[in-house]
Structure 1
Amino acid sequence: MKLNSHTKIVGANIILVPYKKHHVPVYHEWMKSEELQKLTASEPLNLEQEYEMQKTWHDDEDKCTFIILDKDIFNNTAFDETGAMIGDTNIFITDKELAIGEIEIMIAEPSARGKKRGWEAVKLMLLYGIKYIKIQTFEAKILLQNVISIKMFKKLGFQEKSVSAVFQEVTLDKKVSNEWTEWLASSLSFEIKDYH
């Protein structure tokens, strides 16, 4: 999405940066993992296809993605983005008229899991979606076996909307309200900066 192509969000423990060409090789390595392919319902791509996919993410006005950087690693490696990459978070606009967006979060680096990095990233992404993409309802589609993600989204106030036995996934949703938006923002410290 061109909207976020020059936006960086600096949080307490993470930094969200737009998905650019120089991130693709690391992302491509992540997506060779059968576990991540299964959890994200993704097909493996070759490197050339991954570069093409990155370009569509940049150009498509219905898709917004940020790469998640570990802030400590980034600051301790002379600001090396690729060395600090730990995952990504996305919003797909699934209904423009009703302003419905599907949110996703992936912490790809095993060493970064269980440290609340995903929790911080998804809350920042929800706030970005509310303020800049004007999302009114969020949905999250999660594999039934991904209990950690289901618990996280329920903790964020999402409720079960439907279960697909065929796809073995649950759809959770959450309508945006002023109270919820304030609650999300109250627990975060962050600043939005220009990204070059």
Structure 2
Amino acid sequence: MRQNSRLMLVGQSVMLLPYKRHMVPKYHEWMKSPDLLQLTASEPLSLEEEYEMQIKWQEDDDKCTFIVLDLDLFRETKDEIESMIGDTNLFFMLKDDNCGLCTAEAEIMIAEPGARRKRRGWEAMIMMLIYGILELKVKKYQAKIGISNSASIQMFEKLGFQEESISEVFQEITLMKVVDEDWSNWLQEQTKMKIMSYDHD
């Protein structure tokens, strides 16, 4: 999404950067993991295909992605690539109620095992939800998660999402949260987030 291609979100333990070309090789290495492919319901891509996908993420109006960096590690190393730990995405869905792109499917992936269970994914997801509400005018969120992925299900439930449906065919649960002022305020109380300019091509 071009709207976020020059922005970064800075929180307390993570920093979210737009997905840029120089980040593709590390992202591609992550997605060689069978476990991550299964958890994200993704297909393996060649490096060339991954570069093409990065361009789509940057240009398509119905997709918004940020790469998650460990903020402490980045402050120590000043190295974006070394500090990369995952990504967070919004997929926008057109509706027939004249709402436009007001419903978004939210995703979070912490790819680096050493960064898990440290609430990095929790803060990154909250920051993305806030960005979606304040800047992209999201009115409703969905999260589609494999039934076996209990950690992600629990996280989204703690974020206020509720079960909408279960697909036995796809072994997937869909959780939903309608945005309201109280929830938006609660999200913003969970972290201190700054939206800043980002100039790396």
Q: How many angstroms apart in 2 are the aligned matches of 1:187 and 1:39?
A: 26
1:187 CA displacement: 1.6
Q: What is aligned with 2:81?
A: 82
Q: CA deviation at 1:145?
A: 0.5
Structure 1 gap ranges (5+):
none
Equivalence map 1:122-161=2 (5 Å): 122-161=125-164
1:177 partnered with 2:199: no
1:148 is aligned with what amino acid? A
Shift in Å at residue 94 of structure 1? 1.3
**Aligned-pair distance for 1:95?**
2.2
Tell me if structure 2 keeps the 8 A contact 1:16–1:67: yes
Tell me if 1:110 matches 2:110.
no
The TM-score with structure 1 as length reference comes to 0.98
Q: For 1:108 and 1:46, how far apart are their aligned partners in 2?
A: 18
Matched residue, 1:3: 3
Question: What percentage of aligned pairs have identical amino acids?
Answer: 55
Deviations, residues 12-47 of structure 1 (Å, cap 9, x unaligned): 000000000001000000000000000000000000
Where does structure 2 lack aligned partners over 5 or more consecutive residues?
none
Aligned to 2:33: 33
Count of residues in Structure 1 that have an aligned counterpart in Structure 2: 195
CA RMSD of aligned residues (A): 0.7
CA distance in structure 2 between the aligned counterparts of 1:22 and 1:105, rounded to whole angstroms: 21
C-alpha deviation, 1:107, in angstroms: 0.2
TM-superposed deviation, 1:194: 0.3
| Shift of residue 190, structure 1, vs aligned partner | 1.6
In structure 1, the partner of 2:14 is: 14
Letter in 1 for 2:184: T
**What is the rounded CA distance, in whole Å, between the counterparts of 1:95 and 1:176 in structure 2?**
17
Alpha-carbon displacement from aligned partner over 1:39-87 (angstroms, at most 9, x marks no partner): 000000000000000000000000000000000111111x210000000
Distance between the aligned counterparts of 1:189 and 1:117, measured in 2? Answer: 14
Structure 1 match to 2:50 = 50
Measure, in 1, the Cα distance between the counterparts of 2:132 and 2:30. 25
Q: TM-score, normalised by structure 2?
A: 0.96
- Structure 1 consecutive aligned stretches of length 4 or more whose deviation exceeds 6 Å: none
* Secondary structure at 1:43 match in 2: coil
2:24 equivalent to 1:24: yes
